[in-house]
Structures are given as structure tokens and as C-alpha cells.
Structure 1
Amino acid sequence: MEETYVMVKPDGVQRGLVGEIISRIERRGFKIVALRMNFIDEDTAKEHYAEHKEKPFFDSLIAYVTSGPSVSMIVQGKNAISIMRTINGATNPVDASPGTIRGDFAIETGRNIVHASDSQEAARREISIHFGEKESVDYRKIDEVCLYE
């Protein structure tokens, strides 16, 4: 099964959307194998968003993601990376379809509620930044027989 990193950003936490987002993930059939609420420190935020270091929005992105608590998850399931990106919706909420998290709850790119890894490489890197090796739980969900062939 594929794993991906998902974060409910500080705006999602402040707006009380954590339960809604987790519910959407679980209703889709994915399992959450690690979950933590914390304040991401500046060094961790810079490591997480390193690919944006030279972009003009980098400093404001770091200030935003460290401004309040966020919720980090490892989400597991078949095609978890691409499906989570679809569940989240387009990065710019103006382009996000209704029914997606960003399409339903976000207005501006700088406050777009959620993050999900965009590739297997990014997922491995982001999971290693936010979770230790022994922090995920391996278990079988009773409904897996109904989800997978």
C-alpha cells in the first residue's frame, strides 16, 4: 500500500475543519497510520518547503505554517498520493472543484487548508521530516476486503 503525508494547515485547525478532513479521508477508504497535532517549528517548516526556498512567497509560507497548530498524518491506501491530491483539490482554491476540501472551504492559495505529498519521493521525504520510523501503526481495517480486489 502506498503512503502519503497529509497536513491540515493552521487555518484548517483554527477553522475547526480537522474532523471534516479526517472524515473525508476515512470515508474514501484510506487508513490513517500516524497522526499528530503540533506546532511545526521554523527549521522543520523550512526543510518541508525547501523546494520553494527561492520563491518570493517562501518567508510568508514559513510564517504561516508555523503560526499555529497543524495536524500531520500518514495516510495509507492504494493510489493514496494521487487520490489525496484529488480530495484536496487544486492548490489555488479558485481552480478547485466543488466537493474537494479546497473547493468547499478555501478562498486563497495562501490559506488553502491542507497539504498532501505530490509524489512518492516527496511522500517519503515529508514523512521522514514529520515522523520517526516507529511512529506509524501497521493494522488491517475490517473493510479492506470491500475496498480492494
Structure 2
Amino acid sequence: MKRSHYVLMAMVVVAALAGWGVAYFEHKGRVERAAVEALAEARKPGQYLAKLIRDSDAATLVYLPGKDEKDERLIQVSDPQWRERLAAILESATYEITDKHLLGISQPMIRIYKNGAPVLSLMMRGKVISPYCDAIQSDLIVHEEVTASIWKLIAEQDPKP
């Protein structure tokens, strides 16, 4: 073989490797961008809930009436730092939105107020958070550590929930 054939083959190999490298890193970049976008999308419900809580002026723990009770039992949460910590927990979580609504009641429910009107109610069962507000109409699945952190906040205000 002539020397020019070896040079030509070497150029073809280099071009093929360069093309493969460009395609690989372009694909990797697309995958990483998609993952970042998916993470941002998974955090949107928490950001919305955190904004509602930060814009609020009061929080209440609500126990619905039982068989022998007539009225709800309410525990006012007067500490604004408690609401901020609740907002931080919700904002830091990632959520999976489900179209299934889980039946059942969990007590207490956290009710958030702005100007005396309720703007958000939260109920937790296992790793499911059920927000009742205008913008979110479905249950949200989170890591159990998130709901465990919220239960710890509740226990600070009501040691016997």
C-alpha cells in the first residue's frame, strides 16, 4: 500500500472518532438538560406551596370533630418561624403529581390563612401530601422524610396529635 493510503485511513479514523465524540457529548448534554428540566418541574408544586405559606399571616392545626365531638379542635400556631420552616421543607422537596386521590382523613390538617381567609389546607398520609388550594388539584407523592419532617413540626405545637 502506498503511504497516502495510510494517511487517508488515519484521517478517516480520526474523523470517525471526532464525530463519535461530538455525538456522545451532545447526547450527554441533552440528557443532562432534560434531567435538570425534570427536577425543576418536580419542584414547582413545593415552590408554589412555600410561596402561599410565606405570604400568609397565620397557621392553624385543625382536628376534625370525632364521633363524640361537635366542633373542630383548633390549635393556633403563632410562631412565624414555624411557617417559614414548613415552607422551607415543602420548597426543598421534589414531587410526583398523581391523578389519583387517596380517600381518607389524616389529622391534624394544617390550615394556612391570609387576611383571615384560608388559602391552603394540607393533609398528609404516608408519603402523600394532599394540598387543598386553588392551583393544585391532585395529591402529591413525596419522600417519606418530607412528611416525617412536617410531623415533627406539628409535634412542636401539639405534642399529642
TM-score (norm. length: structure 2): 0.27
TM-score under structure 1 normalisation? 0.29
Compare CA radii of gyration and give the structure with the larger one. Answer: 2
Greater relative contact order (Cα < 8 A, sep 6+): 1
